[in-house]
Chains A and B, each alone.
Chain A
Amino acid sequence: MLIVTPSDSIAAAISLDRLAFRYPGDQMPVLEIPAWRVERNEHVFLQGASGSGKSTLLSLLAGLSVPTAGGLQILGDDIANMSTRQRDRFRGANLGVVFQQFNLIPYLSALDNVLLAARFGSAGMSGSRQRAATLLERVNLPLALHQRAASALSIGQQQRVAIVRALINTPSLLLVDEPTSALDHANRDAFLALLFEVLADQNCAMVFVSHDPGLGASFDTQVKIDELNHAVAVN
């Protein structure tokens, strides 16, 4: 928190203002959010059923798609009005994204997956190899597995590498989409514990999306997407 610049220090991690999103060709918007705010360092649990638009919201937050209407500010920047290339750079430098599965490039090693993210981020290559190795150790991935192809790792191991990959550029916002859906109960709890442990010494806000309300306990804030989204669900 002390590192952030003055202009950033006043801006929220996420700030939505009358945001709407409609798929091209559709009549009705799938998302209509009058207002939503996530503070710096705030860890938010966003709960919702399948098809409730939470993944759509996440891809808007990640700048992978742009809202049809309304304001969307991430870390104080109006990413909706950036060019695609600018959004790509912004995402690489400031955001970390973890999907529910298939987070890694299957033919690259665990370490190279992390380093490739560093290549597109702001971290640069010089210190990132050391930092990647340290972080991989932190998520209990032994050195022997660092050079192993991602496709040869277990799902649990892959998801832990995905956390490292998302954090390698010291992002200010981490977007996590159902990362535990492919894990069994014990692994799920271990994964969550590890996630919070790694995040503890990072100045990083998090939006964690899941359909499972049972996971929300350890978060600062719990939000139901249905409370946020005023659009009439079509499916």
Chain B
Amino acid sequence: MGSFGTVLLVASRSLRYRLSGVLLTIASVALSVFVLLGVEHVRQEARTGFASTVSGVDLIVGARTGEINLLLLSIFRIGTATANVSWESVEQLEQQKNVVWTVPISLGDSHRSFRVIGTTEAFFTRYKYGAKQSITFQQGQSFEAVAEVVLGARVATELGYQLGDSLVLSHGMADTSFSHHDQLPFSVSGILAATGTPIDNALFVGLEAIEAMHSDGESEDHRGHNDHDEHDEHDGHDEHEEHEDHDAHEDHDGHEDHDAHEAHDEHHAGHDHPPIGTVTAVLVGLNSPITTLQVKRWVDEFADEALLAILPGVALTQLWELVGNVEAILLGISILILVSSLLGLNAMLLASMRERRREIEVLRSIGAPSSFIVSLLMIESLLIVSVGVVLAVLSLLASITAANTLFAETFGLMISSQILSPSNITALGLIYLTAILVTLLPALQAYRVSRAVGTAAAAD
């Protein structure tokens, strides 16, 4: 048995002898390491998760609002659109010389609290996530007919839909919406493979389908909206600033369209999908990243409509910084928790020094050098920390598995169970370093006691 083996054996017996105190200390260390690793891991995951939500899209164009609002709405589908983008603007944008493709998206409908995205088939080829990964179909294909729908992976598993199943969409987001588009049942044409992004939580239909849904069975008047002139007038009603014009309209007796428009407005009060002929946002692909700012400026200065173009990467970073501050505070707090639990370990060891004075005397009397006693103390605390760390890692893995079910449902994000990332290994290294530093005090005390054995014995 080597010297280290002896220390290890004596240390483990010693810990077992003081089991209740040791278990409490282990629990406190495990808990604090769990919090620290957990916060650090979630921070990393959230960052990569955010950054990989969308790629391959150079610009996102929407009605003028906050940059982060537009990002949340168009990519995470959180919040509601305050205004929309008209088709004419989309067409003008498409004709810009550096614009290679545009994919419009139209929000506002839902199916059993999952958001419905009205878009074009190009969405599935143009939208990328992670490291420029394309969206792939797990089953089936894109929507072709008006009454076809493509499901995100989570929507399909959660609601148990198969290819060919038929479903009905609702206005707005509320699950209990009274306004179902019963007249137009959709059949599932494809199911997407899981991406770990908000794509998984969405349903996709063609823009024509959205338009068809809202024209059929609603007021007769909507058919007229295919005509551009009337359509523009209709838009005006949605813009608050133009309400004064609207009031002016009221003065005109017998304005035939007016009543119909009012009905339309009331109908739209309950949800937020864009009026026919407009979209919520447009994803834009450019021929070269160099032209991004040029096109962005063109959009921002667009005269006909108040528009805003954002760079998804920049906006994601801004969003991250917003959230990241909170995470940094959490990290700071968890470091404090760890330090306090290590101080608890220190206190336990120091408190036990009084009763261990005899033990140190005995060890010295049989020829154990002071170095043996110091390493005994240090190994004991390192054992406590190690068991705590192992417990923390195991329970973190278990918690991630449990939390993934919840997170994927709520945010469409999955947390990787690869918790031993380089940064977390660095964190573990620092934890051990701190533990050793914190243990130095009781070890020093033990050293002093061991050197004073001869003189202390004479006190009898």
A residues lining the B interface (CB < 8 Å) = 23-24, 30, 50, 53, 55-56, 58-60, 62-66, 84-85, 88-93, 97, 99-100, 102-108, 112, 116-117, 119-121, 125, 149, 151, 165, 177
Question: Distance in Å from the Cβ of B376 to the closest Cβ of chain A?
Answer: 10
Inter-subunit contact A56/B458 (CB<8 Å): yes
Q: Which of B231-280 contact A (CB under 8 A)?
A: none
Contact of B369 among A55, A88, A103 (CB under 8 A): A88
Give CA–CA (A62, B364) in the complex, Å: 10
Residues of B with C-beta under 8 A to A100? 460
Inter-subunit contact B17/A107 (CB<8 Å): yes
Q: Does B132 contact A (CB under 8 A)?
A: no
Question: Distance in Å from the Cβ of A49 to the closest Cβ of chain B?
Answer: 12
Give CA–CA (A177, B460) in the complex, Å: 10
Residues of B with C-beta under 8 A to A23? 455, 458
Residues of A with C-beta under 8 A to B6? 116, 119
Question: Distance in Å from the Cβ of A22 to the closest Cβ of chain B?
Answer: 11
Offer 21 A-B interface pairs, CB within 8 angstroms, sorted by A. Answer: A30-B458, A50-B460, A58-B457, A60-B454, A64-B365, A85-B369, A90-B367, A91-B366, A92-B366, A92-B368, A93-B367, A103-B362, A107-B13, A112-B9, A116-B6, A116-B368, A119-B6, A120-B372, A121-B366, A151-B17, A165-B366
Inter-subunit contact A105/B359 (CB<8 Å): yes
Inter-subunit contact B362/A102 (CB<8 Å): yes
Residues of A with C-beta under 8 A to B454? 59-60, 62-66
Contact of B10 among A66, A93, A108, A125 (CB under 8 A): A108
Residues of A with C-beta under 8 A to B364? 64, 88
Inter-subunit contact B369/A84 (CB<8 Å): yes
Residues of A with C-beta under 8 A to B457? 55-56, 58-59, 64, 99, 177
Residues of B with C-beta under 8 A to A151? 17
Q: Does B358 contact A (CB under 8 A)?
A: yes
Interface-centre pick from B13, B366, B370 (highest chain A CB count, 10 A): B366
Question: Distance in Å from the Cβ of B384 to the closest Cβ of chain A?
Answer: 15
User: Interface residues of B: mostly helix, strand, loop or mixed?
Assistant: helix
Residues of B with C-beta under 8 A to A103? 362
Residues of B with C-beta under 8 A to A102? 358-359, 361-362
Known: A89-B367, A102-B362. 11 other contacts (CB 8 A): A23-B458, A24-B455, A50-B460, A59-B454, A64-B457, A84-B369, A88-B367, A88-B370, A100-B460, A107-B14, A121-B367
Give CA–CA (A50, B459) in the complex, Å: 10
B residues lining the A interface (CB < 8 Å) = 1, 6, 9-10, 13-14, 16-17, 358-359, 361-370, 372, 451, 453-455, 457-458, 460
Contact of B458 among A53, A85, A97 (CB under 8 A): A53
Residues of B with C-beta under 8 A to A65? 454-455, 458
Question: Distance in Å from the Cβ of B82 to the closest Cβ of chain A?
Answer: 71
Give CA–CA (A65, B457) in the complex, Å: 10
Inter-subunit contact B14/A62 (CB<8 Å): no
For A51, the closest partner residue in chain B by CB is B460
* Closest A-B pairs by Cβ, 9 of them: A92-B367, A65-B454, A64-B454, A107-B17, A120-B367, A56-B458, A59-B454, A117-B366, A97-B365
Residues of B with C-beta under 8 A to A119? 1, 6
Inter-subunit contact A107/B367 (CB<8 Å): no
Residues of B with C-beta under 8 A to A89? 367, 369
Give CA–CA (A117, B329) in the complex, Å: 52
Inter-subunit contact A104/B367 (CB<8 Å): no
Residues of A with C-beta under 8 A to B366? 91-92, 97, 116-117, 120-121, 165
Interface-centre pick from B13, B14, B361, B457 (highest chain A CB count, 10 A): B457
Question: Distance in Å from the Cβ of B278 to the closest Cβ of chain A?
Answer: 78
Question: Distance in Å from the Cβ of B8 to the closest Cβ of chain A?
Answer: 13
Given known contacts A119-B1, A119-B6, A105 and B455 CB-to-CB distance under 8 angstroms:
no
Inter-subunit contact B367/A84 (CB<8 Å): no
Inter-subunit contact A99/B16 (CB<8 Å): no
Given known contacts A56-B458, A107-B17, A119-B6, A99 and B362 CB-to-CB distance under 8 angstroms:
yes
Inter-subunit contact B460/A105 (CB<8 Å): no
Give CA–CA (A116, B364) in the complex, Å: 12
Inter-subunit contact B10/A105 (CB<8 Å): yes
Residues of A with C-beta under 8 A to B369? 84-85, 88-89
Interface-centre pick from B1, B9, B362, B372 (highest chain A CB count, 10 A): B362
Residues of B with C-beta under 8 A to A53? 458
Residues of B with C-beta under 8 A to A92? 366-368
Inter-subunit contact B367/A99 (CB<8 Å): no
Residues of A with C-beta under 8 A to B358? 102
Give CA–CA (A112, B6) in the complex, Å: 10
Give CA–CA (A102, B455) in the complex, Å: 17
Inter-subunit contact A59/B367 (CB<8 Å): no
Contact of A99 among B1, B361, B368, B370 (CB under 8 A): B361
Inter-subunit contact A59/B455 (CB<8 Å): yes
Question: Distance in Å from the Cβ of A73 to the closest Cβ of chain B?
Answer: 17
Give CA–CA (A97, B17) in the complex, Å: 24
